Amino acid sequence: MAEEMVIPAWKRWLEGIGDQVEFFFKFFRNIFTGGFEWSEFVRQCYEIGYRSMMLVGITSFIMGVVLILQLRPTLVSFGAASMLPKTLAVSFVREIGPVIIAIICAGKIASSIGAELGSMKVTEQLDAMEVSGANPLQYLVVTRILATTVMVPILSVIGDIIGLFGGFLALNLRDKMSYNLYFTKVVASIDFSDFLPAFIKTIFFGFAIGFVGCYKGFHSNKGTESVGLAANSAVVTASLWIFVIDAIAVQVTSLLFYK
């Protein structure tokens, strides 16, 4: 009993990892056992898309504009102004689009999932669901994690398109380039090997956002302040995961695609 009083930080950290691994396996087991909650899954997809679309659109648009304005002087000084569409397209589709959009989604979606499940925990709704014999993992967690895994890649693709469109408008502030020419250049410069790894990466980003949000909400303490804490640590942890996944993804892709 006495040694329970002070648990060393490293031990708590290890326990946290253990809990997360356990949660991960529970999630997988619950995808396939019992009925899949289709209507809740669709509702979550809609909510996530609806809640984040505007923000993702605006951010991507601004990033497209800003990147063109930043790149332009450098490329012009090399006499390579015609490379602008290609440079923007490759950097946006490969890296900037997915990461920026995932970070936005971490702030928007992971926090709201964390807060929602956290408050359900505080108000005993999770207990009530469990006591009734229903499975909160199946109804709440599986649907949310799968919804983010599906929706974040879709949002990323939409964000890419809006960002490239923003780039087009910014380009036309100085140079006149036709819509057709710009997008022909853009499409020609994006290989399958640019798009596919980036797209796969966003699937993992989506999973991390849903998983971290659910884990933090589900494992929050019982107390009103823990709702805010769950939301907050969901954002921080999910953002961290996004960068870690990005770092791993770039290694894997360069091994497979850009030899």
Positions touching other proteins (CB under 8 A) are: 1, 4-5, 116, 120, 123-125, 127-134, 139
Please tell me the distance from the alpha carbon of residue 226 to that of residue 233, in angstroms, as a whole number.
Answer: 10
Residue 127 Cβ vs other proteins, minimum distance, rounded to whole Å: 6
Residue 54 Cβ vs other proteins, minimum distance, rounded to whole Å: 22
Residue 34 Cβ vs other proteins, minimum distance, rounded to whole Å: 9
Cβ closest to other proteins, residue 16 vs residue 34: 34
Cβ closest to other proteins, residue 106 vs residue 122: 122
Residue 116: which of 157, 147, 144, 135 has the closest Cα?
A: 144
Residue 244's CB is within 10 A of a number of other CB atoms, namely: 11
Residue 104 makes CB contacts below 8 A (sequence gap 6+) with: 52, 55, 56, 59
Residue 106 Cβ vs other proteins, minimum distance, rounded to whole Å: 22
Cβ closest to other proteins, residue 9 vs residue 131: 131
Cβ closest to other proteins, residue 30 vs residue 87: 30
Residue 200's CB is within 10 A of a number of other CB atoms, namely: 15
- Backbone angles phi and psi of 7, in degrees to 5: -100, 120
Please tell me the distance from the alpha carbon of residue 210 to that of residue 108, in angstroms, as a whole number.
Answer: 11
Residue 148 Cβ vs other proteins, minimum distance, rounded to whole Å: 17
For CA atoms 149, 40, 21, 106, the dihedral sign is positive
Cβ closest to other proteins, residue 197 vs residue 210: 210
Residue 213 Cβ vs other proteins, minimum distance, rounded to whole Å: 15
Residue 89 makes CB contacts below 8 A (sequence gap 6+) with: 164, 167, 185, 186, 189, 190
Residue 229's CB is within 10 A of a number of other CB atoms, namely: 17
Cβ closest to other proteins, residue 19 vs residue 127: 127
